[in-house]
Amino acid sequence: MAGSAELQDLRARLARAQSVVVLTGAGISADSGVHTFRGADGLWRNFRAEDLATPEAFARDPRLVWEWYNWRRELIATTRPNPAHHALVEMERRAQRFWLITQNVDGLHRDAGSETLSEIHGNIWMVRCTGCGQISENRQVPIPILPSCSACQGLLRPHIVWFGESLAQRDLDQSDAALESCEVMLIIGTSGVVYPAASFAPVAKQAGAFVAEVNLDPTPNSDLVDVTIRGRASDTVPLLL
C-alpha cells in the first residue's frame, strides 16, 4: 500500500508530466453502482454475459440480446459519474497531453466531461445499424425492441465489442501512440489481464513511463508497476490532483 510520501511523489509526477495516459476498468464504475456483469453478477435469466455478448447470440436471437442490453441500460441510467471520473476530467484539463483508455461501456467518463478518450470496448448508449453501418447515440430507456435504423430501417445492434470481435483499429492506434509517448501512466480499477489492455502497462514501462496502479486488491500488474495505491477509486483518484 502506498504511503503519504509515495502519494505525494505520484501527485508531483502528474503535476509536472507533459503526457499522461490513464487506463480504467470496472473498479472505477463500481463506485457509481455499476455492476460488472461478470461472475455472480453476470447471471440474467440463467444466461451468462459471455453467452449473450456474441455475434452468434445476436444472430440467433436478437430480441433476447436486446432485452438483456435494455436491462443493463436501465440500470446504468440510474448511475452518475463519481469523484474519480470528475478528477480525471480535471487531470485532462491540466495536462498538456492526456489520453484516457477505458474498458467500460457505461459512458460515465463522457458524462463526466472527458473528451480525449478511447472507449475500446464500445459504449452502451451507442447503436450501430446492421444494414448500412451507421453509428448513432440512443438514450432511450426502455429502448424499443427490436430497434430499427432511422436511415434504412435495418436492425440496430449495440455498438459494443462482443466476444470474438476485434477492437476498432483506430482506438488501438490512438492508445498505442499515447502509451509510447507518455511520462506517467495510471491504471485504475482494473486487473489488466484481458488483452489488449494486458499489454498496455508493459508498453508504457518500455517507453520509460512511471506506472502507478490504483486498485482495491492486488492484480497481475502489481509487481510490474512503480507504485500501487490501495483503495476505492472514488476516494484515491481525487487525491492525485
Write out the catalytic residue numbers: 121
Q: Kindly report the CA angle at 213 between 3 and 169, in degrees rounded to 5?
A: 165
R_g of the chain computed on alpha carbons: 18
Give burial (CB, 10 Å; 0-12/13-18/19+) of 73. buried
CA atoms within 13 A on the CB side of 236: 25
- 58 and 207 Cβ atoms separated by less than 8 Å: no
Residue 121 in 3-state DSSP?
coil
Q: Cell digits for 125? A: 448508449
- Nine cell digits for residue 33: 453502482
**CA dist., res. 93 & res. 39, Å (int):** 36
CB 58 within 8 A of CB 156: no
Beta-ladder partners of 119: 102
